[in-house]
Amino acid sequence: MKSPKIVVDGLCKVFGPNPKLARELLAKGATKDELFARTGYVLGVNNASFEVHEGEIFVLMGLSGSGKSTLIRLINRLVEPTAGKVIIDGRDIAAVRRSELVSLRRTDMSMVFQSFALMPQRSVLANAAFGLEVAGVGRKEREQRALAVLEQVGLAAFAQKLPAELSGGMQQRVGLARALAVNPSLMIMDEAFSALDPLKRKEMQNVLLQLQKEQRRTIMFVSHDLEEALRIGSRIAIMEGGRIVQIGTPQEIISNPADDYVRAFFDGVDTSRYLTAGDLMQREAVPLIRSLDAKSVASSLNGSADYAFVLDAQHRISGFVTRDAIGAAQPALKQVECITLGTPLEQVVSRVCANTTALPVVDDEGRYCGSIDQAAVLKVITRNRGAAHV
């Protein structure tokens, strides 16, 4: 397996004058509140350990003050850790010299913030080219590269305008273009879209997802919005009081929230929208028949099952047989429609509800994976709606 892009190991940050005292108290298991009460020190990040894989969008989520910004600043070392390690591309960044770190930040890590901090007197093009200018790239080349990224974010026609002539959403795209222009392998985005209205925000998420399809950078993305995290995150880490309380894919977090703090983020969000057929299928609910003869039909339908799916040699669905087929010399094979693993819940619901039998779920090669019946659909819908009222 490929080595991870980032490894974070036992990372802690305490804001206070005496790191040694802070480490001692942390080692005794002091919480954020206890530490503050005893010393006045603020616990920013408490013993975070995780890996970020190359090419994924890793979202950090949590309430205000939970330590998201501190954690990402520890990663690019704008903040010095109290304890623990950050390893990027196999290199312990504690061992990287200051000067090297500065050049690394300029060329291989980009940051995008909530306030886009564009330079008002400079053109959109000059703003997009700024990171390259700081990195010492000559004018012609940096303008070419900046124009290419402005094209990617849909702003090439505005290259000669001033930032003030653009809407907030467009200005945020200039901020994104500036970060992309240096072609970093790691992008760190702290609430980058939070100041935008919901529509602009969704539009930026789409721009990011589209770019990600083409370029596959590693992105660490801070957000306090669950819907944003679910839409763009390959995985999500949820922070509370400096600790990471859960890490998982959107589906893992929705299906299995670690505690009430995590569940509270679901409030008002229809999380079922983010589930797919693969998340709700049952693996062994429907009996399977591998060869369609009277004996196999009788033995697979000898329990309470009303029907069984028939598979071919490649494990693909040929159809299904019902109890009427028991005893028939040539059991009648009935047609059944299949649902693929990635089908969103909304489509699963309408298709399953239009059928009396469970529908088989298949992978991209058409191989049988599991089944979904009406009861499974109802269960997931009521559970997720229910969670919104806890």
Ligand X SMILES: Nc1ncnc2c1ncn2[C@@H]1O[C@H](COP(=O)(O)OP(=O)(O)OP(=O)(O)O)[C@@H](O)[C@H]1O
> Applying CB under 5 A, does 223 fall inside the site for Mg ion?
no
> Applying CB under 6 A, does 314 fall inside the site for ligand X?
no
In the complex with Mg ion, the residue whose CB is nearer, 69 or 384, is 69
Sequence-separated (6 or more) residues with CB below 8 Å from residue 90: 3
DSSP 342-375: T-BHHHHHHHHHT-SS-EEEE-TT-BEEEEE-HH
**Partner from Mg ion, ligand X, none contacting 66, C-beta within 5 to 8 A by type:** ligand X
In the complex with ligand X, the residue whose CB is nearer, 232 or 281, is 232
Q: Which of 67, 250, 331, 370 binds ligand X (CB under 6 A)?
A: 67
> Applying CB under 6 A, does 243 fall inside the site for ligand X?
no
Q: What is the distance between the alpha carbons of residues 146 and 125, in angstroms, rounded to a whole number?
A: 6
Q: What is the distance between the alpha carbons of residues 101 and 94, in angstroms, rounded to a whole number?
A: 10
Q: How far is the CB of 44 from ligand X (least distance, A)?
A: 4
Q: How far is the CB of 60 from ligand X (least distance, A)?
A: 8
Contact track, Mg ion, 58-87, x by CB under 5 A: -----------x------------------
Q: What is the distance between the alpha carbons of residues 260 and 389, in angstroms, rounded to a whole number?
A: 12
Show contacts with ligand X in window 212-241 (CB under 6 A).
224
Q: Which of 4, 19, 44, 81 binds ligand X (CB under 6 A)?
A: 44
Exposure class string for 279-305: b at 16+ Cβ within 10 A, else e: bbbeeeebbbbeebeeebbeebbeeee
Show contacts with ligand X in window 2-41 (CB under 6 A).
15
Q: How far is the CB of 221 from ligand X (least distance, A)?
A: 13
Tally of CA atoms within 13 A in the half-sphere of 173 that contains its CB: 28
Tally of CA atoms within 13 A in the half-sphere of 140 that contains its CB: 0
Using CB under 6 A as the criterion, which residues of the chain lie in contact with ligand X when the complex forms? 15, 42, 44, 62, 64-70, 224
Using CB under 5 A as the criterion, which residues of the chain lie in contact with Mg ion when the complex forms? 69
